[in-house]
Amino acid sequence: MSSSNLLFDENLISSSLIPCDSPNRTSLNDDFFTRSAILFSILPHTDRPYELIIIHRTNRGRKHRGEMSFPGGKFNSEEDKTLLDTALREANEEIGVHRKDIQILGCLNDFPTMTKYIISPFVAKINPNVQLVKQEREVQEIIKVPIDFFVNKENFREQAFKIKDEEFPVFYFNYYDPYTEKGYIIWGATAHMISIFIERVYEIQMSELGLKRFDINKIRSLKDFIKYRDNITKELK
């Protein structure tokens, strides 16, 4: 796909997504899982393909330390009335973007993770004039990745891993940032949500293995995914 076809097109993207309040959107709720939300953050440009804002997390915490992800986090009943509030609050805390500079375009289906989170993904346009400011405690770096990198299937990788005698698909992208001169592995739930977005908006099928992720019932039965995660990250190349 040419770069000219990857300029930000609000109508195309919005019409390809699911309205966040639609009864047709898969909304999951399970007491065994932690409710959370992310802001699938799009930085539009007029003269080149738009970018996705990805954060490189610090090594704090146990489950998602050092990972590449969208701004987001756990639902906090003391601060959030809705999961959208969670996504907007976390974006403000982690990348310094106020809700007045965020325009929600639509949603993806809720996404259960192997670490027993249910992620509600809100796709949003970020005001390109705002300054991104990282939260020092939780964010190592803020990375802006052009959408044409993700759409190019030569940059897409997938592997099947054995978990409880079943094959589990792992998607990932190896991204080299010319500005920081560093390489990053964008994998797991983040890579899957990006792939789902590309399939919905551009009708490009990313996976060739065709393996399905585990559903919420199968994930619930896993004792400890962390030991699998550490083995997976060692194998991603």
Residue pLDDT, tens place only, 191-232? 999 999 999 999 999 999 999 888 898 888 876 666 666 677
| Pairing relationship of beta strands 182-187 and 166-177 according to DSSP bridges | antiparallel
What average pLDDT does the structure give for the chain? 92
The confidence score (pLDDT) of residue 221 equals 82
Q: Find the mean pLDDT for residues 10-30.
A: 96
Which fold would CATH assign to domain 3-235? Nucleoside Triphosphate Pyrophosphohydrolase (3.90.79)
Domain boundaries, the chain: 3-235
The confidence score (pLDDT) of residue 5 equals 84
| Pairing relationship of beta strands 34-43 and 117-126 according to DSSP bridges | parallel
Closest CA to 195 of 226, 138, 151: 151
The confidence score (pLDDT) of residue 26 equals 96
- For residue 86, give every residue at least 6 positions away whose Cβ sits within 8 Å of its Cβ, in sequence order, or none: 35, 36, 37, 72, 73, 74, 75, 76, 80, 120
Taking the CA atoms of the chain, what radius of gyration do you get in angstroms? 17
> pLDDT tens digits for 62-110?
555 678 999 999 999 999 999 999 999 999 999 999 999 999 999 999 9
The confidence score (pLDDT) of residue 200 equals 97
Query: How confident is residue 236, by pLDDT bands cut at 50, 70 and 90?
Result: confident
> pLDDT tens digits for 150-189?
999 999 999 998 887 889 899 999 999 988 899 999 999 9
Count Cα atoms within 13 angstroms, Cβ side, for 18: 17
Q: Find the mean pLDDT for residues 2-11.
A: 87
Phi, psi of 199 (to 5 degrees): -65, -40
